[in-house]
Structure 1
Amino acid sequence: MKTKKVTKYMGIVALAAMTLCSCEDLLDTKNYTQSNTQNFPTSMDDVEMLVTSMYANLNHQAAKPESSYLLTNLYASDDMFAGSQDAELDHLMYKSDSQFDFCWDIHYKGIYAANTCLEGLDLMEAADNVPDAGLFSQRKGEACFMRAFQYYELAELFGGVPLILSTTQETNTPRATADEVWAQIATDLQQAISL
């Protein structure tokens, strides 16, 4: 009986001690959900986050290796006739094929990440907020190269594709000609080299 009372009182004291203790310092963290184009990026650390998101799209082979850009180029070549189970894929017309949907989606996610990075860098430059000009130019060059790389992969697979050069969400963007896509690739690569 006495043990129950002691346990009860110790529980009440422990509960009171926990409610009286404050941990506000642990709760004061940066709110990442409030980032938008007006307040992000504001530092080179923010730029590094954008650049990392660009490169993250290159890891899609681990998630779905059969849709790797290294293999999807083979679907349109004569290498598909080497006796594999997919040898007839060149002769079949599917309205929707998840292998190609995934490839299309992952490249446009990479393009969106590069566009986001380029727009963020332009905002920092317009606000005269470039602490390290060398690193800034390098990151801008990387973003131009990554966008060119993603369009190169799409152009190799599909020819003309929609050219999306900003983060604005336009639906049903018309398909550009293959020549327009290759011209954009050349423009992005020339800009990357100049930086």
Structure 2
Amino acid sequence: MNRLRQVRKQKEITIKEVAEDTGISENLIGKYEREEREPRRETWIKLADYYCVPVAYLMGLPDGLVQHINKTQAMTFEELHEAIIQWAENRNMISPKNTHKQFMKVTEELGELAEGINKDNQGQIKDSLGDILVTLIILSRDLDVDLLDCLRGAYDVIKDRTGKTVNGVFVKEEDLHE
């Protein structure tokens, strides 16, 4: 459960004031507060800056998880993976019923990555790659598939693969002779 409404009320600010100061519509702020819609990463950051609170706190993450996430520089991939699953579970996002919707989120993020690459926008590229990983982690949980096992399996297949790079793309040895 996010803390958007709680923080706004503690600071004695109206939704109208937040909208005027941040450029986010009153309607959208209301939806965020009622958790009818999830803010994008940039919006979380904008609102956290506006309220002068950490993003993780504003998102309503448990204090232990907030402290854990604050140490992300030292977190392993596996620790980040588990933190993301916990975040999604706290929001009731993980469910086999959501598989199609979560897959659509993956493709949406792929589209944003393509846009970032086409515009040579490094910030958008990094943001999109992170978002793709998050959506894949959640999708893999919806499908009851261990994403790390998938990654290990893929590496086991490619680690001894031979071939050559053609125009920046690796081509398998067997495909070179077709």
TM-score above 0.5, yes or no: no
Judging by fraction of residues, say which structure has more strand.
2
Question: TM-score, normalised on structure 1?
Answer: 0.27
Question: TM-score, normalised on structure 2?
Answer: 0.29
Structure ranking higher on relative contact order (CA contacts 8 Å, 6+ apart): 1
> Higher Cα Rg: structure 1 or 2?
1
